[in-house]
Amino acid sequence: MTSKPAVYEFNAAIVREPARSVVNGLRADDRGNPTFDGVKAEHAAYVAAMRAAGVEVTALPALEAFPDSIFVEDPALVFPEGAILLRPGAETRVRETVEIAPTLKAMFGTVVDLPTPGYADGGDVLTTPRSVMIGLSARTDRAGAEGLIASLDRLGRKGEIVQTPEGVLHFKSDCSLLDGETMLSTKRLARSGVFKDFREVLIPEGEEPAANALRVNDVVMVGADYPRTIEMLDKLGYQVVALKTTEIGKIDAGLSCMSLRWHRGQRL
């Protein structure tokens, strides 16, 4: 009998190539438009890092009509047991779910729709060994979170509702799982007590965006613009892969949102 993979062990992922319209992506804090070439280079390096970590990556074509569609994690969730089609909280992104649905239905035996009403973004969802945490935010409301708990239950997973800090776009903007027992978190999110059952590693002051790191198999991917966080994780014994996020950061994005990741077992 094979052991169940850890929640950060992946061998399959879906990404979507950036469209030229990505320069007009949504942003809460306007720091100017990213360049298309810059986003494309960061995305390519991300995909290369995924493959180097042992993940088979399926790259979907760009969608010019949807500037934010590079961020495939928001309209859907994937698990070894199946996929969930979400309803993004930004009006311009709602139809991204329709675009990715055929791919998920071709790859997964079970695909569940988020019940109505309500909306939920994948950026607010953090899978841990204990539960799937769903952060309430400007993009995920309580009705959507409760509907997501019902959808997760259909896949045999337990969901719990938590609160995203005020003024933070997504729950995972401020946290990420480092291993089965350890959470990387900003101080403002840690203060809420949401990670009381985990060992907490706190982001150095001024490097808060680094909290959106991504554990993939043996490595932790971290934004290259955050040297103190990288040094801290290196000293703690994590194998860090630094990736540029300067351009995608201009449209409120980080590392977790650019892929849907799961561990694909052998099909019977």
Kindly list the catalytic residues.
170, 257
Dist CA 152 CA 131 (whole Å): 10
The backbone torsions φ and ψ at residue 159, rounded to the nearest 5 degrees and listed phi first, read: -110, 155
Residue 93 labeled ligand binder:
yes
The backbone torsions φ and ψ at residue 229, rounded to the nearest 5 degrees and listed phi first, read: -65, -45
Residue 181 labeled ligand binder:
no
Residue 153 labeled ligand binder:
no
Residue 73 labeled ligand binder:
yes
- Beta-bridged to residue 176, according to DSSP, are 184
Placement of tokens 């590392």 in the chain: 255
Residue 174 labeled ligand binder:
no
Residue 230 labeled ligand binder:
no
DSSP calls for 208-236: GGGG--EEETTEEEEETT-HHHHHHHHHT
Residue 17 labeled ligand binder:
no
Dist CA 120 CA 136 (whole Å): 9
Dist CA 260 CA 76 (whole Å): 8
Q: Known binding site: residues?
A: 26, 68, 73-74, 93, 139, 251
Q: Known binding site for substrate: residues?
A: 26, 68, 73-74, 93, 139, 251
